[in-house]
Structure 1
Amino acid sequence: MRTSRSLAVKKASDIRPLPVLRETMDYLWHLLNSSEYPFEIVHDFIFDRTRSVRQDLSIQNLVNDQAIGIYEDVIKFHILSHQRLARSCQDSDASSLCYLNTEQMMKCLLSLFDMYHTIHKINSQSNKEAEYYSFFVLLHMGCKIPKMANSLSFWYSQLPASIVRSKEMIFARTILRCYHLGNFKRFFCMIADEATELQLCLVEPFLNEVRARALMYLNHSGYKLQHHPLTHLSDILMIEELELEDLCRICGLEISRSGDTKAFAPKQTTFSLPTPLSKSSGIYISREIKR
């Protein structure tokens, strides 16, 4: 596969009409699960071509249901890539791909929201709007996106009431609130019970960051004599006990053992939030993405 990092200025004859752009996206979707090449190479190939598709849509100023469907598929590609790249991040090159993928996802979302606003003027609406607005909220959990000029509260106030009251947005706002307040049990229970397939893909790369924050709270706020059994914590944080033990050690926590029970004592001064965190394997819920 060959990729090109630059999108040259196109001649009018090179600009593809909407039906061709739809066919292009369908072809790219077919390639997404290709096993012939490493995913990083497949991602790079599709990444460049989805940018070109968006450029053709922009040049023609196409804003209709079909164009919106293409944008939604591009964002879905970035979300699935967000998950798969995070699982394989082992070096600086992979980390760079993760950053670029997230950056493009944000740009696509903002462009999509403008398109939603435009079709609202003709009393049209996408049935996926609420979920796609929720993605923007969930991305604020990772603290790896550019700061907004205005607060999220102001952004909420600009949205249609039907979107703000939707179950997808209520879920996203509640998850973000639990994250900031340290309500980790509710955080993971809600993800397990209520997240859509794509919401789950989007938050998975942030889960070990949340787990590390939970360990920090427990370490700083607990009593020295009140040890925290890993078996109990693994249930709350929805992570296998062996992975939790690895995460504890990465954070500088010393694990003690009494019989078959492993635990850590609070107030350990060696604790620190690692950067970067180990890759996450999710919350062990068997879910299959269906397009």
Structure 2
Amino acid sequence: MEIRSLVRGSCERFCPDAEAKMRIQKKLLHYFEYKDGQKHVPGVLVKEFTRSAADAKVPKAKDMRTELCLTKTVEYLLKDILLDERKPYHLAYDFIFDRLRMVRREIVIQQYNARQTIRLLEPMIMFLAYSRYRLCAEPIEKFDPKICNQHLQECLNMTLCCYKELDDEQETQENKSTIRDFQRRCFIEALYQVFNLGTSEALVRGLALPAEVREDKIFKLAFGICMNYHQGNLYRVIVGLPQLPHIICAVSASKLEMIRRRLMEIFTHAYNNKQLTVPTSYLLRLTLVEPPILAELCRQYNIALTPDRKAVHFIKTDFRSSAETIKARREPFIEAKLERIYLPEVLLLKKLWL
């Protein structure tokens, strides 16, 4: 069997010269690659994703970017393009998603080590997690949450494998990570737990992590929420979610409607009585919603509100089990957290505190 030699990229441009020349000639530039949106003036080009054919040759060094160039590419996409408001966010997301996918491919082709891979993948995880929340209410033709979830899970799994590889190295070499690297890892580990809320794999991983990670404040909070969910204590889950930091809190939005549905169903059994009602003020606090959203929940699952809308009447036989869970939405308490941050700084993991 022929063993292919490892090729390291030598290109210092976001887009290699050969691809840039071809795409300019064929007018294949994206809106964000034209200078100030002018269709006839090329601006900053970024290497686009292309699928590799089965018989494709190993790319030449000049057609692959260096690690430094890949890092600058990620920073450019998650700052300049992310904040470009000339077009709706879903179009910026599509562009960034495609270009980051090519960065991931070059990581694999060049066989970067665990530390190199982690530094490039962590911002991608943050971008996908944020976009999953920001675009959650968009129609399927503008944003497909399943594809975003799939790529987010792939990036998380790849990053967690790299963390494990570094843990194994440290046992033999005493090669300790920096404080900043450790903080980034704890944040990503916490994000993984919340994104995989309800899965046994996430809980098993959490229990097997190094003690210093398990004792981290953010991770302990996220893992505690996941344990409470596993134990069926949804009240503590709901109370804990708003305490999570920005992006992790945003990730939890995709789980909230499922949790609300379970709560409402539990209440139809716990308060099943023709004479008994539950105050809406209590349910509003418990479900983290405003009155119009609570009314929507009741309509969706066939739960009766009293005429004055100050109480809810639960009857277990009336609960509509066949109803679809309401689609995830942007939540006021999460919006408040995101308004207080400078997004590129957070997505690039330069600031992670609560």
State the TM-score, normalized to the length of structure 1: 0.85
The separation in 2 between residues aligned to 1:153 and 1:254, in whole angstroms, is 37
Map 1:30-45 to 2 at 5 A: 30-45=80-95
Code of the aligned partner of 1:7? R
Quote how far apart the aligned CAs of 1:153 are. Answer: 4.6
2:163 is matched with: 116
1:132 is matched with: 188
Give CA-to-partner distance per residue, 1:185-208, whole Å, 9 cap, x none. 32222122x301121011012212
Q: Is the 8 A contact 1:86 1:280 kept in 2?
A: yes
Q: Is the 8 A contact 2:214 2:220 kept in 1?
A: yes
Give CA-to-partner distance per residue, 1:22-48, whole Å, 9 cap, x none. 111111112123322222222121111
Which residue of 218, 223, 232 maps to 1:173? Answer: 223
Structure 1 or 2, whichever has the larger Rg, is 2
Code of the aligned partner of 2:224? T
1:11 is matched with: 59
2:302 is matched with: 252
Give CA-to-partner distance per residue, 1:193-225, whole Å, 9 cap, x none. x30112101101221221111111001221312
2:12 is matched with: none
Q: Is 2:244 aligned against 1:195?
A: yes
Q: Could you say what secondary structure the match of 1:170 adopts?
A: helix
1:102 is matched with: 149
State the TM-score, normalized to the length of structure 2: 0.71
1:28 is matched with: 77
Q: Is 2:251 aligned against 1:206?
A: no
The separation in 2 between residues aligned to 1:175 and 1:240, in whole angstroms, is 23
Quote how far apart the aligned CAs of 1:266 are. Answer: 3.1
Give CA-to-partner distance per residue, 1:38-62, whole Å, 9 cap, x none. 2222212111111111111222222
1:61 is matched with: 111
The separation in 2 between residues aligned to 1:21 and 1:140, in whole angstroms, is 29
The 3 A distance-change label for structure 1 pair 162 and 273 is: farther
Quote how far apart the aligned CAs of 1:115 are. Answer: 2.1
Q: Is 2:272 aligned against 1:216?
A: no
1:264 is matched with: 313
Gaps of 5+ in 2: 1-29, 32-46, 346-354
Quote how far apart the aligned CAs of 1:85 are. Answer: 2.0
Q: How many pairs were matched up?
A: 280
Code of the aligned partner of 2:194? L
The separation in 2 between residues aligned to 1:27 and 1:239, in whole angstroms, is 37
Q: Is the 8 A contact 1:63 1:119 kept in 2?
A: no
Give CA-to-partner distance per residue, 1:126-181, whole Å, 9 cap, x none. 221111112222122277xxxx7xx4454335421222232223222221232244
Q: In angstroms, what is the RMSD of aligned CA positions?
A: 2.5
Q: Could you say what secondary structure the match of 2:77 adopts?
A: helix
Q: Could you say what secondary structure the match of 2:318 adopts?
A: coil
The 3 A distance-change label for structure 1 pair 112 and 7 is: same
